[in-house]
Amino acid sequence: MNFRELDTSNGVKAAESSFRTKVVLAREIPWNGFASSNSITSEQYNLISKYDKHTDAEKKEKFAANSASYVNFFVNFINSTSNIEIIQYLLTLINEIIEIDPRAAGAFSKITKDDDKSYPYSVFFRLLNREDAYTNLHASIALAQIMCAGKPTQNDVESFFNWILKLLRKNNSSEVEVGLIALQSLLLKDDFRIFFNNIDGSALLLNILQALSTSSVNIQLLYETIYAIWLLTYNKDIAAAYSGTGLVANLVQLVKTVAKEKIVRLSLSTLRNLLNNGKSNEEMIDNGFVRMLNILNIKKWGDDDIPADIEVLINGLAKDIDNMSSFNKYKTEIISGELEWTPVHKSERFWKENISKFEENNYQVIKHLHQILKTSQSTPLQLSIACHDLCEFVRHHSRGKAIMTITNQTRYHGYDVKSNEEVKNQALFALQKMMLNNWEYLNAK
Amino acid sequence: MDDTQVNAQLDQMKNFILQEAQDKANEIKTKATQEFTSEKGRIFQNEKIKIIKEYEKKQKLIEVQKKINLSNELNKSRLSVLKVREECLRDVIKEAQKKLATISDDKDKYQTILKNLIYQGFVKLNENKIQVVGRKEDAGLLEKATTEAAAQYKKNVGKSIDVSVDKERFLPQGPKSDYNGPTCCGGVILSALEGRIICKNTLDSRLEICFDQLTPVIRTQLYGASTSRKFFD
């Protein structure tokens, strides 16, 4: 794909938009000359001269009155000419009229040709292979919209998806972006979502997202990727299939780390689609999304859709937390970091019954407690609860002390110098218990 | 910063804002499309179920109606069969009546029949004074038959009997093709104690009795045994 005329430093869409308005639409196509040299009939000249360079409303009216003739003229002229400038111009007109009046896509899908079964798709397919990114992009968008409106053959759909998949696997981010943009128009139709999922497209998108998340510099590409995934998650089956793949963790991470509002917006919207599908809810809770949501809920947003999505997510997850066992509730509390003196902390029975569960996921809960102690931003309340819980763990777990030694025992010394009485108390208490070798024996006495 | 630089920067900012707006517009469009599709699907599904239910109801109704019609038709045909059978029976009676009219033509035989009829009447009535009424055309035959019957009665029962043939009242005449009034094919009516006890022993009344009593037999003979009959005495 050749981007020579497009400056893609701000993403493909920005490049396309400035090239479209500044170069392509500024062109004067000599319809007059074509008419006098009999390249087009006088009727066709009549059609195009009344249409070209007019306002959107006039174009809509003209097109609606004579859609079949316009559709045939556009497609046939693109098919017959090899002048790249005219092709670019006409493709722009086609996408423009579909944008102005979405019903136009239906009109394009209805034209046929006796000796070509995949007409009019074949005309656009040929343009996908030209060495011009603008033409490729516009041809693919037009193709996608016309396919959504019409009934393309399995073969046509497959070859179009293959073209997109090839782009998505490229290293050049602009080429990937073109593929994603084409995909966005195509995935509006549920059949195509299923088709795309069947050819492992959803996994490929996740790969792209994961590669981007780690080195997230290209916001626009990130946005387009999430956009495509967002569209896929409207299908319940695909949304359920995404659970367990790490998509939820990725999106939660994005919401946490990326400040850009449109990324947050789309990530939340995608998470909303994933809610209640497969094991997504558990994944969200495990990734500390509940705490994140509460923070996001306080923030002011310029976009009304964000608070709405946040509310749906909070309510959706609250139901799950209500249904959890006491240990899962405790775990959620620890992971979310919102520690409070809930009854379980002081319940002897809770520690006795659930002590083995602390080993789950390679001592995930213990690690979180350590994390709270390590970070300097923790509140006194968090610190005292963490101290208390760790010492309870040591007290009840048979190898508690050994585990504690391996992880980070020395940390505790730091806390008795902090000012807060409560923290000091808990920290000392914890230290005392940890240093006792035979506290059980002591208790018995 | 000179003007061109400012303009370039402004342009860039404008483009950026436009781009962001375009992205949001696309999202809104997508959401709208999605909402439209799911709403359409929901309504479509609901209406589909509604139509299916409606047709199920209609089908049920039609089936019930069909059953009703079937049993109605069955009943009708059964009734019509019964009606035709009844008519056939009537034909049999008519046939019998026609034959009855010819009995009195054979005088000798009729003479014996009359005698036996009167004798049977005597036995049945078991009275001493009996009056006999017959047809006007049989008056001659009657006289002889009465005396013979009285003799036989005396011989068999051992009692003499005072019998008279009524000369004023008569039974109606035998059937004729140009005559529509009441008819009698023959036989007698006997009465005792001034008409207080009557024994109708005309051929017509005998046929009637026969018909009443023998209808089941005739029916079986004509149509065979009834298949639905379950109980026999």
Q: Are residues B117 and B212 in the same domain?
A: yes
Cα dihedral angle (A71, A74, A76, A77), rounded to 10 degrees?
A: 160
Q: In degrees rounded to 5, what are phi and psi of residue B199? A: -120, 105
When divided into structural domains, chain B yields a total of: 2
Q: Which residue has the higher pLDDT, A247 or B181?
A: A247
What does the DSSP 8-state code read for residue A233? T
Å from A15 to nearest chain B CA? 10
Q: Are residues B11 and B90 in the same domain?
A: yes
- Alpha-carbon Rg for chain B in angstroms: 50
Task: State yes or no: cis peptide before A120, omega within 30 of 0.
Answer: yes
Q: What is the pLDDT of residue A16?
A: 86
Q: CB B24 to CB A231 under 8 A?
A: no
Residue A150: Cβ within 10 Å count? 17
Give pLDDT tens digits for B120-134. 888 888 888 888 888
Taking the C-alpha atoms of residue A128 and residue A136, their distance in angstroms, rounded to an integer, is 5
Q: Which residue has the higher pLDDT, A192 or B102?
A: A192
Question: Which residues in chain A have their CB less than 8 angstroms from residue B23's CB?
Answer: 13, 223, 262
Q: What is the pLDDT of residue A144?
A: 92
Interface of A with B in 189-228 (CB under 8 A): 190, 223, 227
- Categorize the per-residue pLDDT at B228 as very low, low, confident or very high, splitting at 50, 70 and 90: confident
Q: CB B19 to CB A269 under 8 A?
A: no
Tell whether A312 lies on the interface with B, counting CB pairs under 8 A: no
Q: CB–CB of B15/A17 below 8 Å?
A: yes
Q: What is the pLDDT of residue A409?
A: 47
Angle between the N-to-C axes of helices A201-214 and A154-168, in degrees from 0 to 180, rounded to the nearest 10 = 20
Domains A1-187 and A189-323 share a fold: yes
Q: Are residues B205 and B109 in the same domain?
A: yes
Least confident interval from A261-275, B20-34, B99-113: B99-113
Tell whether A10 lies on the interface with B, counting CB pairs under 8 A: yes
Domain-by-domain residue ranges, chain A?
1-187, 189-323, 326-444
Q: Which residue has the higher pLDDT, B52 or A117?
A: B52
Å from B25 to nearest chain A CA? 12
Q: What is the pLDDT of residue A437?
A: 53
Say which CATH number the domain at B128 has: 3.30.2320.30
Beta bridge partners of B162: B129
Q: What is the pLDDT of residue A407?
A: 54
Q: Are residues B121 and B208 in the same domain?
A: yes
Interface of A with B in 276-305 (CB under 8 A): 303
Q: CB–CB of A190/A234 below 8 Å?
A: yes
Domain A1-187 has CATH 3.40.50.300: no
- DSSP characters for A159-175? HHHHHHHHHHT-S-HHH
Helix (H, G, I), strand (E, B) or coil at B187: strand
Residue B25 identity (one-letter amino acid) = A
**A326-444 CATH fold:** 1.25.40
Q: Are residues B49 and B111 in the same domain?
A: no
Q: Are residues B20 and B122 in the same domain?
A: no
Q: Which residue has the tokens 């899908």?
A: A109
**Contact residues, chain B to chain A, C-beta under 8 Å:** 15-16, 18-20, 22-24, 26-27, 30, 33-34, 37
Phi-psi region of B216 (alpha: psi -120 to 50; beta: other; left: phi over 0): alpha
Beta bridge partners of B130: B163, B192
**Considering the domain boundaries, does residue B29 fall inside one?**
yes
Least confident interval from A222-236, A414-428, B69-83, B198-212: A414-428
Q: What is the pLDDT of residue A440?
A: 52
Regions of chain A with pLDDT less than 50: 409-410, 413-414, 416-417, 438, 441-442, 444-445
Mutation to test the B interface, candidates A10, A145, A232, most B Cβ within 10 Å: A10
Q: CB–CB of A262/A302 below 8 Å?
A: no
**Considering the domain boundaries, does residue B225 fall inside one?**
no
Q: Are residues B111 and B93 in the same domain?
A: no
Q: CB–CB of A300/A252 below 8 Å?
A: no
Contacts of A433 (CB under 8 A, 6+ apart): A391, A394, A395, A439
Helix (H, G, I), strand (E, B) or coil at B34: helix
Q: CB A17 to CB B22 under 8 A?
A: yes
Q: In degrees rounded to 5, what are phi and psi of residue B103? A: -60, -45
**A189-323 CATH fold:** Leucine-rich Repeat Variant (1.25.10)
Taking the C-alpha atoms of residue A119 and residue A125, their distance in angstroms, rounded to an integer, is 10
Q: Are residues B108 and B210 in the same domain?
A: yes
Q: Which two tokens stand for residue B159?
A: 């009692």
Question: CA nearest A1: which of A161, A146, A149, A171?
Answer: A171
Taking the C-alpha atoms of residue A188 and residue B30, their distance in angstroms, rounded to an integer, is 7
Burial A72-92 (b: 16+ CB within 10 A, else e): bbbbbbbbeeeeeebbbbbbb
Dihedral (CA of B81, B87, B93, B95) sign? negative
Q: CB A10 to CB B23 under 8 A?
A: no
CA atoms within 13 A on the CB side of B10: 7
Mutation to test the A interface, candidates B11, B30, B31, B39, most A Cβ within 10 Å: B30
Dihedral (CA of A159, A160, A161, A162) sign? positive
- DSSP characters for A353-386? HHGGGGGHHHHHHHHHHHHHHH-TT--HHHHHHH
Question: Which residues in chain A have their CB less than 8 angstroms from residue B26's CB?
Answer: 184, 227
Q: CB A17 to CB B15 under 8 A?
A: yes
Q: Which two tokens stand for residue A83?
A: 């002048």
Question: CA nearest A120: which of A91, A152, A92?
Answer: A152
**Considering the domain boundaries, does residue B231 fall inside one?**
no
Q: CB A17 to CB B34 under 8 A?
A: no
Taking the C-alpha atoms of residue A148 and residue A185, their distance in angstroms, rounded to an integer, is 8
Contacts of A317 (CB under 8 A, 6+ apart): A275, A281, A284, A285, A289, A290, A293
* Pairs from B173-176 (Cβ < 8 Å, separation ≥ 24): B173/B135, B173/B136, B173/B137, B174/B101, B174/B104, B174/B135, B174/B137, B175/B97, B175/B101
Number of A to B CB contacts under 8 A, please give it. Answer: 34
Taking the C-alpha atoms of residue B211 and residue B217, their distance in angstroms, rounded to an integer, is 10
Question: CA nearest A340: which of A391, A269, A273, A291?
Answer: A291
| Residue-range definition of the domain harbouring residue B160 | 104-217
Secondary structure (H, E, C), A51-91: HCCCCHHHHHHHHHHCHHHHHHHHHHHHHHCCCHHHHHHHH
Q: CB–CB of A275/A281 below 8 Å?
A: yes
Q: Are residues B110 and B213 in the same domain?
A: yes
Tell whether A15 lies on the interface with B, counting CB pairs under 8 A: no
Q: Are residues B85 and B160 in the same domain?
A: no
